[in-house]
Structure 1
Amino acid sequence: MERNRKLKIGFDSAILISAVGISFILLFLDTHIWIRVLAYLFVFFSALDLLIQLRKKDHKKYQTSENYGEAKAGQLVLLDEHDKPLKSWDLAGKTALILGKKNDEEEVDVDLTECEYSTFINDQHAVLNFCLDSWYLEDLGSQNGVKVKKVEDGGCYQVTNRPCRVSAGDVIYLASTRLLLT
């Protein structure tokens, strides 16, 4: 969205410069008055449009304390090999969730001990963090890795050295275990 706004400002600036140049040339040519008036009106409205674009503020909605922790994704769902839900975890009101296997020393928010491929999942395999209206997935140094299949392009991406933004419809792979954000 920010890129589109910058492009619009750039094009508006180019139009304004062109309009000013044409209007300046028309001052010295023997043209009808109505052509000059149209050129001056074009300059006026181009300048007005550019000023409006420059004064526009980005009106992103940042969450207030009342709805902090609620993102577009509301649940994390464990899927079987036929895409049937086996278990789910509510994300409402949460700011971070540790995904892994429960043991005597460490607690996890999403316990995958009982899933089919649990032997490939580390005790603390990954973390989901909520920040500025989005969820971010991060690998916690797992042996078998973390991948995300993005809903917008269908691509499957390895989560490596930095957090990956995830949204509703994305499928998270912890080794061979699949979790759907809904």
Structure 2
Amino acid sequence: MSKVLSFLSKILNLINLPKHIKKIFLKRKIRKYTTNNNDSNMILKLFNWLIIITVLSSIVYLNFTYKISRRLLIGELSLGIIICAFLLWKKKKGKKAKTKDPQIKKILLKDQNQNIINTWELRNEVSILIGKKTRVNQVDIDLSEAIYSSLISRQHGVLNKAGNKWYFEDIGSSNGSGIRRRNDSKKIRLAEGSPYQLYSGDILYIANTKLFVQ
């Protein structure tokens, strides 16, 4: 009888349509979120270039209107071009520094003495459900054995990968989620239904349970 129940439980988990639909919906939401960010960055770049062109055009116009010497015009244009080149170089350097950020590879659960209880590898994953495993509820990161597991919802949050970046989203948990950024002592409470990018060194709070991002 127990074998039959176990078999039926596995079948139910395989055809758990709500879980799969939720995962698809969340992945689409993450893609939309990252696409919107890219669009806003493009608009900002165009706006910056328009400002640069306007400033340089104004310099030329004013010099020709008031018939200022050609040497002064060349000097002003050269100075404007140098300033623009410096700003673009600085922005490019900042982007390079961001790309050096170490890629997230795993999630760790530790006890109060900082001993590792469990490790979950993220290398070949694209969507990970965090919560508590039951007969009818399968999760990828099972926190049933955590000290404060009673505060964790069965389906608490989800990790989604988009463009080689990992995002966490609270999916309507009872006791909420939080994050503490690396090199920051302040814990931030996360809004339900909003994706937050994770970085190596962050600490993710599933209710009161800490997950270390590496």
Structure 2 Cα separation of the partners of residues 130 and 116 of structure 1: 28
Whichever of the two has the greater Rg, that structure is 1
The answer for the alignment partner of 2:137 in structure 1 is 106
Question: 1:21 pairs with 42, 61, 66, which one?
Answer: 61
For residues 74-120 of structure 1, the C-alpha deviation after alignment (integer angstroms, 9 at most, x for no partner) is 00000222333221100001001111111111211111111211122
Cα RMSD (Å): 3.5
Which stretches in structure 1 are left out of the alignment for 5+ residues? 30-34, 61-70
The answer for the alignment partner of 1:36 in structure 2 is 70
Q: Which structure: greater helix fraction?
A: 2
For residues 101-141 of structure 1, the C-alpha deviation after alignment (integer angstroms, 9 at most, x for no partner) is 11111211111111211122122111111112221111122
Structure 1 Cα separation of the partners of residues 153 and 80 of structure 2: 60
Is 1:138 the counterpart of 2:172? The answer is no
Please tell me the residue identity of whatever aligns with 2:70.
R
The answer for the alignment partner of 2:128 in structure 1 is 97
Structure 2 Cα separation of the partners of residues 16 and 152 of structure 1: 41
1:176, distance to aligned residue in structure 2 (A)? 1.2
Q: Which runs of 4+ in 1 moved over 6 A?
A: 47-50
1:154, distance to aligned residue in structure 2 (A)? 4.0
TM-score (ref. length: structure 1): 0.71
Structure 1 Cα separation of the partners of residues 76 and 188 of structure 2: 49
Structure 1 Cα separation of the partners of residues 105 and 127 of structure 2: 13
1:44, distance to aligned residue in structure 2 (A)? 7.6
Is 1:148 the counterpart of 2:148? The answer is no
Please tell me the residue identity of whatever aligns with 1:176.
N
Please tell me the residue identity of whatever aligns with 1:84.
N
Structure 1 Cα separation of the partners of residues 127 and 137 of structure 2: 15
Does the aligned pair in 1 maintain the 2:107–2:120 contact within 8 Å?
Answer: yes
TM-score (ref. length: structure 2): 0.61
The answer for the alignment partner of 1:63 in structure 2 is none
Is 1:84 the counterpart of 2:115? The answer is yes
Structure-2 change in CA distance of 1:13 and 1:163 (3 Å): same
Which stretches in structure 2 are left out of the alignment for 5+ residues? 1-37, 96-101
Tell me which moved more, 123-132 or 35-44: 35-44
Structure 2 Cα separation of the partners of residues 41 and 17 of structure 1: 14
Q: Which structure: greater strand fraction?
A: 1
Does the aligned pair in 1 maintain the 2:171–2:193 contact within 8 Å?
Answer: no
Does the aligned pair in 2 maintain the 1:22–1:39 contact within 8 Å?
Answer: no
- Specify the SS of the correspondent of 1:157: strand
